Amino acid sequence: MAKIMIQGTGSSVGKSILVTALCRIFKQDGYSVCPFKAQNMSLNSYITLDGKEMGRAQVLQAYAAGLQPEAYMNPILLKPTSDKKCQIIVNGKVYGNSTAMEYHNMKLEFRDMLKDHFESMEQKFDIIVMEGAGSPAEINLRDRDIVNMGMAELVDAPVIIAGDIDKGGVFASLAGTMLLFTEEERARVKGTIINKFRGDVEILKPGLTMLEDIIKVTCMGVVPHFNLALEDEDGAVEFNTKITGNIDIAVIKLPHISNFTDLDALKSEEDVSVRFVTSVEELGHPDLVIIPGSKNTIEDLLKLRACGLEKAIKDYSKTGLLIGICGGYQILGKVLKDPYGVETDVKETEGMGVLDVETVFEEEKVTTRVNAESIEKFNVYKNEESKENRKLNIYGYEIHMGICNYGKNAKPLFKIMDKNGEKVELNDGAINEEGNIMGTYIHGIFDGVDFREYILNKIRVSKELEVKKSSTYESLREKELDKLADIVRESLDINKIYEVMGINK
């Protein structure tokens, strides 16, 4: 079994996308390959087929490898709930909540579990592509590291260090990282990668030669800056604020925004502009407003109230199209109650009150994969007898602590038919009488064609634009992953990487 680990000079230098590319390249070359990140910190998470929670970055990497995502690919997930506290997910299930110091002191408890996971994977796959987190040169964390050099040492993995030239100072970052390594750690580094380069590589080459002389490590390639319709690396998301398409979708950028990958399928539509809004002035007059998920729903609602966005959204909802997802759905309701202090010390607060539902936060987290259909038939035209009337098929996943209770004026939006493979009949979400305000607990509702196509064509008809068919997001993602592999294969010395892993090509 071969292995390689991509570490970086810091956060957001492109580690995740490089691992994704290598997973697809090795798969294309005929190897069974699997991604692995011991510890991830992200508010973008996903629910596996067996109802476990993991980071979204490893989900994309799994797809690149041709695998169904599994929690062992990301055994520890940290989900920040405030500046100093986070929820700890271990092997896909909630382990507890802790401060940064509390977690730092408990990290070594997980070393044996991580090693066991990795050794089990070694029996199943030809190659494991590992990802570090943040910077491996955080010398204050070295003695308890379980995700960078500590993990590499635990399983004896060779390391490649990536640096982001787009940030500036890439040579200093790479040299400084090597300087702060111990002698044993430096010996483990087999190469560097310059990432996100714009310009003529010939101009860069003298610097590469000088860097190699300084750090005594070869550069394995320069990857250009590119734009593909793939999920952004955790923490590296560019929250667009401009209208760039005929359809203007405004997403409320909550302070604790989570699972904003729900919007990626919308971004893939050519005539759609997805922009993020943080103030009343930025809101404008969009065709659709989406309130996304949140890791701290009540605090985010109070922030919207304080800055005036709550009132602006309520005014907009009188005639505009408004959708809330998970935490956003809870915000649209009348009341939010947190009797156990799950999210905050605020025990109860009024919601926006545009949907007649009440949320109660419970101590047990719901993590399920679901298939559902709309309860009512929908069409994009005003004629209720139109042959276009049909129920919409939905699939996605739930990650939430709250349960919504319906008031007398609330109508369920979806009926869940399947939860984690079990047949059920459960109501989800809500829709108002006029049909312009909707909420749901289902993440990924736009990934499937039906709901995305309905919402966008409803907007197109209202704007007298031509209706369009939407493509499956999965087919688009596969094409983009192949494009990614082509770019990275052309940019890196892949044969050298195989050599480092001990594979003769």
- Give the DSSP letter string of 112-174: HHHHHHHHHHHTT-SEEEEE--S-TT-GGGGGG-SSSHHHHHHHT--EEEEEEGGGS-HHHHH
The per-residue pLDDT for 233 is 59
H or E stretch at 414: strand 414-419
- The reported pLDDT for the residue numbered 238 is 65
Which pLDDT score is estimated for 472? 86
Query: Per residue in 434-444, is it b (16+ CB within 10 Å) or e — as a string?
Result: eebbbbbbbbb
Amino acid at 160: I
Please give the Cα distance from 358 to 340 (Å, whole number). 16
State residue 382's pLDDT score: 62
Instruction: Please give the structure tokens belonging to residue 314.
Output: 């309520």
Domains, the chain, in order of start with CATH, read 2-38+54-70+110-230+478-501 (3.40.50.300), 247-464 (3.40.50.880)
Q: In which element (H, E) is residue 363 found?
A: strand 357-374
pLDDT tens digits for the chain (505 residues)? 899 999 999 999 999 999 999 999 999 999 999 999 999 999 889 999 999 999 999 999 999 999 999 999 999 999 988 778 899 999 999 999 999 899 999 999 999 999 999 999 999 999 999 999 999 999 999 999 999 999 999 999 999 999 999 999 999 999 999 999 999 999 999 999 999 999 999 999 999 999 999 999 999 999 999 988 887 655 555 678 888 889 999 999 999 999 989 999 999 899 999 999 999 999 999 999 999 999 999 999 999 999 999 999 999 999 999 999 999 999 999 999 999 888 888 899 999 999 999 999 998 899 999 999 999 988 877 655 555 688 999 999 999 988 999 998 889 999 999 999 999 999 999 999 999 999 999 999 999 999 999 999 999 999 999 999 998 888 889 999 999 999 999 999 999 999 999 998 7
The residue to which tokens 């090795």 are assigned? 26
Q: Residue 36's closest CA among 161, 155, 164, 143?
A: 155
Determine the pLDDT at residue 143: 93
Cite the active site residues. 326, 443
Q: Give the span between the Cα atoms of 405 and 414, in whole angstroms.
A: 15
> For the packed helices 309-316 and 297-307, what is the interaxial angle rounded to 10 degrees?
90
Question: What pTM was estimated for this model as a whole?
Answer: 0.90
Which tokens sit at 83?
């500046």
